[in-house]
Chains A and B, each alone.
Chain A
């Protein structure tokens, strides 16, 4: 289990991580989602003791990273790819790491087999593709058979086959009751990988919930209405507190409205009461990626004081706030 309490990291005048608290439970894949520059990598570095927070603390299974005796046996981490000496072979990179933990060299061969790099392991990393380097990093993370894994953007540079492989690996590892904490700036990737999400923007927590909840909560609901009397209908909807925006008319179709702040049944009732013909009445969900962009864009614009309110409120305010 990973726990962050009030974690804060400032670089000169920029706040990278801002009083962040969360908990990553074992047995499921926890996605760490946020746009680029949101503070995901910094948070991981704080958890791993590479950077020091100005405030707050992070623990892994109740201990600070620095207090773990043979840390690679507890925690595996994949930070940026290519963080390896280009002149060293993958095998030697893994070998020196194994030696620091007193692991036998046959464990190096096991993890090389796990990531499918046995054949090129003795060649210098210089010649590796980004995807191959990424696999060396995953092999390094798996060296000590850790119960906690932190993976920073692990699918970067992987081909579709590799992406599928790492997704399955993470799910498999989670099913073994390990703690899997994986960051991404891609909502769609997280939607298919993560069971649970911790979403941050500008170093602050935006959401901490299951992926399903997040999708439902953050997808802004709107209704598409098509009617020959769209203008009249728009006025009636506005009179009842809804918001109707005229859409680009399509050729051969009646004028369309996009209605927010009112559900489809009520729109149908208003139309019926006023004897207005409807050609279409469709509830719509924003795409995941749109919803996520909207949410995090809101957090970026949001003032510091307002975002300090509990995260559920902050998330919903941000979602509605940015749509107005």
Chain B
């Protein structure tokens, strides 16, 4: 922490020149708020750092895990087939690196709102916009545009890294056909022209964007950085996946409709057996959850003392 030195120049004497302002009437509306939110988000280092971490973790892990899994497959290790790299390589590629990288998006989504509360900036923001909810709307919009751009780029690069590694990889297996053991060779091929693949890659970026807004809404509700980050990551990594263990068909239904469980369907190219929702339905469910939480965050923003 460097302290700023030397001491600042003494305040200028109060003169007409310094007080006569250049504040000619000027239109200001939602566009001005978008500009202000963009200034806020770009002027703190945490934005850049979390996005860099997101990209590095996502791309690095996609490459590393795909490569390690293919090696294990070559060595004939058991259980590797269960990873889906042979049966559903696209979902494997998009699920590994981004699966961990998404946490950086959760952190950023929480931070863009809770940092205002922890620093006290929220009071300046609300004094400037006393109707309040436009602040959250503008913030959400600017943040989603940023995440969708970065998210789509990282999703596509992840896909290309993974595809370059798996394409042409030959898998050897044994089948028993009519009492005869037969050796089967299969080449893994992925391509954007295969059904559902392009949708899955684009969908991965869309999922990240809605996830960011989901985190922003939780941040707006909880208002404390650590609490909100724990809540979001706890839900995404622990609570929602664990709900898959609920018994019976009602358990399956509950699990299928949970926010990120439903949302992640958009980034899988193949329909799994027993899957209750289509990819777009799942994405719609995730969007509905997020819209609900954002509405709750706006409601509380209007009601609570700042």
A51 close to B119 (CB less than 8 A): no
Q: Does A244 touch B at the CB level, under 8 Å? A: no
User: When chains A and B are docked, how far (Å) is the Cα of A66 from the Cα of B132?
Assistant: 9
Tell me the chain A residues, 80-138 only, with Cβ under 8 Å from chain B. Answer: 80, 82-89, 92-93, 95-97, 99-104, 106-107, 110, 113-120, 123, 126-129, 132, 135
Residue in contact with A50 in the complex, picked from B14, B24, B306, CB distance below 8 Å: B306
What size tier do the contact residues of chain B reach? Answer: 35 or more
Nearest chain B CB to A150's CB is how many angstroms away? Answer: 10
User: When chains A and B are docked, how far (Å) is the Cα of A296 from the Cα of B294?
Assistant: 46
Tell me which residues across on chain A come within 8 A of B18, comparing CB atoms.
Answer: 110, 113-114
A144 close to B8 (CB less than 8 A): no
Q: Does B129 touch A at the CB level, under 8 Å? A: yes
The interface-forming segment of A20-28, A67-75, A269-277, A298-306 is A67-75
What size tier do the contact residues of chain A reach? Answer: 35 or more
B35, closest chain A residue (CB): A99
A79 close to B10 (CB less than 8 A): no
B39 close to A107 (CB less than 8 A): no
Tell me which residues across on chain B come within 8 A of A65, comparing CB atoms.
Answer: 130
Nearest chain A CB to B37's CB is how many angstroms away? Answer: 8
A107 close to B21 (CB less than 8 A): yes
B11 close to A127 (CB less than 8 A): no
User: When chains A and B are docked, how far (Å) is the Cα of A79 from the Cα of B126?
Assistant: 13
A97 close to B36 (CB less than 8 A): yes
Q: Does B120 touch A at the CB level, under 8 Å? A: yes
Tell me which residues across on chain A come within 8 A of B115, comparing CB atoms.
Answer: 85
Specify which of A49, A65, A80, A132 lies most central, judged by the most chain B CB atoms within 10 Å of its CB: A49
Instruction: Given A96-B43, A99-B39, A169-B14, check contact A123 B4 (CB 8 Å).
Output: yes
A168 close to B14 (CB less than 8 A): yes
Q: Does B131 touch A at the CB level, under 8 Å? A: yes
A165, closest chain B residue (CB): B11
Tell me which residues across on chain A come within 8 A of B123, comparing CB atoms.
Answer: 50, 79, 83
Instruction: Given A84-B121, A116-B10, check contact A50 B32 (CB 8 Å).
Output: no
Q: Map CB proximity to A onto B38-81 as digits: 1 under 8 Å, 0 otherwise.
A: 01100111100000000000000000000000000000000000
Instruction: Given A84-B120, A162-B11, check contact A99 B36 (CB 8 Å).
Output: yes
Q: Does B248 touch A at the CB level, under 8 Å? A: no
- The number of inter-chain residue pairs (CB within 8 angstroms) is 151
Tell me which residues across on chain B come within 8 A of A110, comparing CB atoms.
Answer: 18, 21-22
Residue in contact with A140 in the complex, picked from B19, B40, B46, B124, CB distance below 8 Å: B124
Instruction: Given A99-B36, A172-B19, check contact A71 B44 (CB 8 Å).
Output: no
Q: Does A48 touch B at the CB level, under 8 Å? A: yes
Q: Does A13 touch B at the CB level, under 8 Å? A: no
Nearest chain B CB to A298's CB is how many angstroms away? Answer: 30
A103, closest chain B residue (CB): B23
Nearest chain B CB to A53's CB is how many angstroms away? Answer: 10
Q: Does A77 touch B at the CB level, under 8 Å? A: yes
List the interface of chain A (C-beta within 8 A of B). Answer: 45, 48-52, 65-66, 68, 70-73, 75, 77, 79-80, 82-89, 92-93, 95-97, 99-104, 106-107, 110, 113-120, 123, 126-129, 132, 135, 140, 142, 144-145, 161-162, 165, 168-169, 172-173, 176
User: Could you list 27 examples of A-B contacts with CB < 8 Å?
Assistant: A50-B123, A50-B305, A50-B306, A52-B303, A52-B305, A71-B130, A84-B119, A88-B40, A89-B43, A92-B43, A104-B26, A107-B22, A113-B18, A114-B12, A114-B19, A116-B10, A118-B9, A120-B4, A123-B4, A127-B1, A127-B4, A129-B3, A132-B4, A132-B8, A142-B19, A144-B23, A172-B14
